[in-house]
Structure 1
Amino acid sequence: MRPNKEPILNIGIILPVDKRKKVTISFSDAALYEIETEKLLISSCKTPDAVDISIDDGNMNIKKTVEAVDEHDITIHDVPAGRGFHWEKTIDVALPGNLKITNHDGHLLVINQVPLEQYLSCVAVSEMSGACPATFLEVQTITARSWILAAAEKKHPELKIDACNDDCCQRYQGLSQMTESSKRAAEKSRGKVLIYDNQICDARYSKSCGGITENAENVWDMSPVHYLSSVYDGPTKNKDINWDNWFTSKPETYCSPTLLDEQELHKYLGNVDKDGYYFRWKVSYTQEEFCEFFSKKINEHVTQITKIDALNRGQSGRINHLYLDYQTADSSSKTLQLHNEFDIRKTLHPSFLYSSCFVINMDNSIIEFNGAGWGHGVGLCQIGALNMSLNGQNTNDILAHYYMGAELEKIYK
């Protein structure tokens, strides 16, 4: 959509996939909210500190009665963060705006109805931290605004929401992460989006490209998109890559620890990110460990992995076609082919592999992946953009680097 004024978004906070029958909420000032159910209107939420809302209570809306009071919020407790990823946990989320609570096929669906700019001031410091430079926060805000308004990825069409609160869409952890810097980033860039060929850009991004961003069509089933084409994440635009040592080297790219030591990186990361090695990483399993989780993934009793081989890589080195030979308990020899980045990451790790950009070392006892980057690697590299901003590059320079040919345009005031 291309609105001419700020839209109100519907953001899923508790989803049916969470299988919740009950949710606990609390208010910063209960007197400022009213609860509207199918049967009655409760004009003031003069309640205890926390209220349990059950699916048996029916559909309801919780609305703020004084719109000008921005500092007050509704807190939803034990909200999933990182669903299905290796950093999955639950957190309490303080939300602006209103709530809509419905029964969706026997499970709760909790939706936060929130103005776009207020949502964005929370997204920027949910994806990364408030310690990031103002330039980075502005870049992240413009990118997030473009992505959600382009609405190219319909992640939850059956729920009729604009996005969920989590990594499959954009991280949104509410007011608890919002800072004055993130508010200023939203205000300074208000209404600005990336435009290419007169359309709002589907501005995708990930934590670390590992040194080279990826073509979108190598990750998702989509046609090539010029502004989502692979770029070398450094000042040199054309560089020959030696893949033999790429996964163990630390080239001087924007997301490399040669610019920002990974021991220092943690203060710039998001609230739910794990400390670790984002540029280069290694994952090792014994054959027994791998077979145990792999058996659960494919619902077979696997006793031995005999070969794993990458059949095709994208420009960043990310594998998008892989086959795996294995033996089962009845001594059958079988082959599994994986045809996209997501399935590779989901299948080759107990929860979710950091990226599909890796080389394989294995023998009869050990399976080891030496990898690069975190995430799909398409579009903006957050750690690369962070380092560019720390080194004095401006918003336009950073966006032009990651989204080739795209231009900034203000579409509403």
Structure 2
Amino acid sequence: LETAAEHWITSSPPAYCHTSDRTFIQQILPDFDQETRDFFRWQVSYGQDKLRAIVEQKLNIEFGSILGLEPLERGVSGRIVRLHIIGEKASVVVGKELEIRRALSRTHLYSSAFVVRTEGRGTVPERFRLMGAGWGHGVGLCQIGAAVMARQGKSYRAILAHYYRGSSLQALYAGSQHLHDERCVSP
């Protein structure tokens, strides 16, 4: 699973949510800012001291130098659900996707779908580079891609069909007159 996740996360396949047109993104996301301009594939780089300060503050544990960030388990979407943070003085397993995202950033990490690259000589890495994919929970619908498709005139049915192939829509309550049992099909 780790090899498959690494291939997916470090590649850049064609997708609606992979756009570099900043003007277009600003039209569909009025609150778009400089820090969140690339949702599809992203990188965060930490020096040893900065990463140690972040995880020690977030987890309230004195790690000493950080020796490694080791994914122990990934979910079906490739997101890390158990991460081993290995330090000189202490080690801890952080579980659940949101807790991992919180532990590795002062603000927020876009997702826990990432791979770790270390740089430096010797047993204590000088730098940790997190190469990640996506933004959010990993349930299969890219919010940015859906917004781009809608802006291009695609219907909600076409958007759902694109992300959830073979799914169907049906009314779940008696008062619904607008939604009938229909299969989602790609246009």
Counterpart position of 1:336: 92
Counterpart position of 2:62: 301
Secondary structure of 2:64 counterpart: strand
Contact kept, 8 Å, 1:288 with 1:303, in 2: the verdict is no
Q: CA deviation at 1:253?
A: 2.0
* Cα distance in 2 for residues equivalent to 1:344 and 1:385: 26
> Gaps (5+ residues) in structure 2?
120-124, 178-187
Q: What aligned pairs does 1:121-132 form with structure 2 within 5 A after superposition?
A: none
Counterpart position of 2:22: 263
* Cα distance in 2 for residues equivalent to 1:315 and 1:251: 18
* Cα distance in 1 for residues equivalent to 2:80 and 2:38: 20
Q: What aligned pairs does 1:3-402 form with structure 2 within 5 A after superposition?
A: 243-257=5-19, 261-264=20-23, 265-271=25-31, 274-327=35-88, 332=89, 334-363=90-119, 364-402=125-163
RMSD: 2.5
1:248 partner amino acid = T
Contact kept, 8 Å, 2:48 with 2:126, in 1: the verdict is yes
Q: 1:242 to 1:294 in 2, by over 3 A?
A: closer
Q: Give deviations 1:200-220, integer Å, cap 9, x for gaps.
A: xxxxxxxxxxxxxxxxxxxxx
Q: 1:284 to 1:342 in 2, by over 3 A?
A: same
Bigger RCO of structures 1 and 2 (CA < 8 A, at least 6 apart): 2
Contact kept, 8 Å, 1:324 with 1:337, in 2: the verdict is yes
1:271 partner amino acid = D
Percent sequence identity is 36
Contact kept, 8 Å, 1:247 with 1:358, in 2: the verdict is yes
* Cα distance in 1 for residues equivalent to 2:84 and 2:71: 7
Contact kept, 8 Å, 2:77 with 2:139, in 1: the verdict is no
- Richer in strand (by share): 1
Secondary structure of 2:116 counterpart: strand
Rg bigger for which structure? 1
* Cα distance in 1 for residues equivalent to 2:156 and 2:81: 32
Contact kept, 8 Å, 1:323 with 1:335, in 2: the verdict is yes
* Cα distance in 2 for residues equivalent to 1:339 and 1:387: 33
* Cα distance in 2 for residues equivalent to 1:392 and 1:358: 32
Contact kept, 8 Å, 2:110 with 2:135, in 1: the verdict is yes
TM-score if structure 2 supplies the norm length?
A: 0.75
Q: 1:342 to 1:295 in 2, by over 3 A?
A: same
Q: Give deviations 1:368-394, integer Å, cap 9, x for gaps.
A: 101111111225321121232344432
Secondary structure of 1:396 counterpart: helix
Tell me the number of residue pairs that the alignment of Structure 1 and Structure 2 aligns. 165
Counterpart position of 1:118: none
Contact kept, 8 Å, 1:266 with 1:275, in 2: the verdict is no
Contact kept, 8 Å, 1:346 with 1:352, in 2: the verdict is yes
2:98 partner amino acid = F
Q: CA deviation at 1:304?
A: 0.4
Q: CA deviation at 1:402?
A: 3.6
Q: Which moved more, 1:310-319 or 1:369-378?
A: 310-319
Q: 1:245 to 1:400 in 2, by over 3 A?
A: closer
* Cα distance in 2 for residues equivalent to 1:341 and 1:368: 18
* Cα distance in 2 for residues equivalent to 1:242 and 1:323: 20
Q: 1:244 to 1:344 in 2, by over 3 A?
A: closer
* Cα distance in 1 for residues equivalent to 2:131 and 2:83: 16
* Cα distance in 2 for residues equivalent to 1:361 and 1:287: 13
Secondary structure of 1:303 counterpart: coil
